[in-house]
Amino acid sequence: MKPVMSQGDSNDFDTSPILDIIDAVVAAVEKEREFEVANIPLVVSAITVLELYIGVVRGQTGRGSEGRAHTRGAPIEVVLDSSALANTNLSISRRAGRLFGECIANRR
């Protein structure tokens, strides 16, 4: 990944658009190309990286429900290698932890 950037410096991408890029969803790929042409870096948060790799492990263990291309680590690495990492702060980490905990609790 490229050097850490502050949030708001460019376009921050959440997990779903990253997966759409990996899955070659036309609208997502076109948007990524628009950013590339405009020299706007693709920025992901540490939380998004965490979520992507949770999907990798779930796919490898057969526990993933979507069966999308993110069940393999290699496509994720290709996208992340061309991305910048957004700073994550305590507030973001707390919210992500709570949301993740709720997801786990609701699946029991």
pLDDT digits (tens, 9 = 90+) for 67-108: 554 445 778 888 888 888 887 788 888 887 888 788 888 875
Q: Which of 15, 11, 44 is nearest to 103 (CA)?
A: 15
CATH topology of domain 2-106: Rossmann fold (3.40.50)
Tell me the pairing of strands 2-5 and 42-45: unpaired
How confident is the model at residue 3, as a pLDDT? 42
Which has more confidence, 29 or 66?
29
Give the whole-angstrom CA distance, residue 31 versus residue 21.
9
Task: With beta carbons less than 8 A apart as the criterion, state whether 103 and 23 touch.
Answer: no
How confident is the model at residue 26, as a pLDDT? 93
Predicted TM-score (pTM) of the model is 0.61
Lowest mean pLDDT segment, chosen from 27-31, 35-39, 62-66 = 62-66
Task: With beta carbons less than 8 A apart as the criterion, state whether 55 and 64 touch.
Answer: yes
Instruction: Tell me the sheet residues that pair with 2.
Output: 84
